[in-house]
Chains A and B, each alone.
Chain A
Amino acid sequence: MAYIIGPDCEKCGSCEPECENQAISEGEETYIIDPEKCTECLGNYETPRCFEVCPVGAPGPDKMRKESREQLLAKWRKLHPGKEPKLFEKKA
């Protein structure tokens, strides 16, 4: 689905270096996730890292962009040519 940073963002920038897809940059009112680069951390972490780091929980799933696991994985491969994604078992 790609994640999006909501209005609670205070622009501390703590998320920016955490994104392994380098999808995050400073915008006017908030930091911004480039949806072309966000795989919801699929391929990198067990859960979305920007959300985990954010002190106010500003990032969340972008409900306007529905993407399947396969689509996210394909996106990851394009962003990291020649590498293998880190995948985690979904917890019950």
Chain B
Amino acid sequence: MNYDLIVVGGGPGGLMAARTAAADGLKVLLVERKKNVAEIARACLQIFYINKITPNPETGRGEPNMDGYIDPVSAEILPEKCRFHFPVPGFSLDFGGSVRAYYNWIQTSPKGYQIHRYIPNEKVWGFYYQKEAFVAELLASAQKAGAEVMPETAALSAANTGDGVEVKVRRGQTEETLKGRNAIAADGLNSRIVQSLGLNENRHAGAPRHIVAYVVEDVVAPYHDTSFYSWTIPSISGGGNVWMGLLAGGRHLLGVGSGADLPPTTILDNFLKLPAFHDWFKNARVVDKMVTAVTPRASLKEPVTGNVVIVGDAGASAESWVQGAVASGYQAVKAIEKERSGHTGYRDYINWWQKAFAFNYSAYQKLLARVYPLNRVCSDDDIDYLFQLFQDEIGIPALLVTANLDRVKKGRPELYEKIKATLKG
């Protein structure tokens, strides 16, 4: 059986592609390795960022939300649903599941000094959205539009064959070859499709980061219903920050990412014992756990090869975010249709991809290099000092500090030298 389009991966990107293509009349097959397509098996903060992300490397101010989709998006709250607008690709997406508004991002030191990333309680910078419901709705609309969905089917490789694509999959113990005119690789960070097409050869990969998150009930913290929290506590978490986001039903997701040297569960268990925040968790209960691993890679600069278009995390450096996955799923289908009708669909897609994600900008890469070294060279005491020094500023602590090092030099010259050394090279 020959398909117009084979979509590999049933996450937000793949499902958006399948739905878009099917609605346009294409014969679509989507393959997903999990048994339950809508199940969220990997730890995810489930945040839909809505502000335009423009990092300001000079002042450290603005909304530098790091590595994802930076085309503008907005959210409209309607009576029974939320409507997400994507003006650049030119579509909107309705969502009937749970959303909770984020007004604050509170960055906290070991003793509890705070630097706000955004002006407190001023405006919404993002929404918690219930990802399981989001994926379930996309799945239903893709199937309603006529896409065929095949769960329990793990894609192994893809090959371009002149005017088509062959995708090798495994169902149980059997291997099968699926044939189509085009394929979309939406199988996430460690995409087997991307690997099999030889696209990882020049993509430098970092060490895997291990992420563990606890689903917690009955946390009571300042502004706990409207805030995202992050804690910089080098003595327990090394180079990573512990974070806490919102979930449906008043719950929170408390998690951390770490390298191989320090198990994330150890960090979280030590965090929950800290006296500075003990009150917040004294009645709290851990009711579930989400985990994942993230192997960061250089992003794919040209996410098209032959008749295969790559979308979402499969081409990203670490995360494209849900809006990036959905936008690229849509754009990929439009690109394929444009290309098939004799226009420069692929080139347009590549040009759009290179501008739409912060991880494709060298300025962003430089910014990233300034953010994390602070955790690695500072002690808990250093962090308390810095957060107290900058507690009336708005922005990302590491960027505020490195852009205003003269203020640190005055009070703590040895700390100044330590931080300055991380900026060399």
Contact = CB atoms under 8 A, between A and B. Distances in A.
Interface of A: 10-14, 16-18, 22, 25-26, 52-57
Pick the most buried of B43, B192, B293: most chain A CB atoms within 10 A of its CB.
B293
Given A10-B291, A17-B192, A55 B211 contact: yes
Contacts of A18: 190
Interface residues of B, number: 29
A25 B208 contact: no
A22 B265 CA distance: 28
Given A56-B263, A57-B263, 9 more contacts: A10-B290, A12-B42, A12-B293, A13-B42, A14-B42, A14-B190, A17-B187, A26-B35, A53-B208
| A contact face: mostly helix, strand, loop, or mixed | loop
Contacts of A13: 33-34, 41-42
A48 to B, nearest CB: 12
Contacts of A17: 187, 190-192, 195
A13 B190 CA distance: 10
A11 B295 contact: no
A16 B170 CA distance: 12
B154 A12 contact: no
B264 interface: yes
Contacts of B265: 56
Pick the most buried of B187, B264, B295: most chain A CB atoms within 10 A of its CB.
B295
B154 A53 contact: no
Contacts of A10: 289-291
Nearest to A9: B291
Interface string B274-307: 0000000000000001111101000000000000
B212 interface: yes
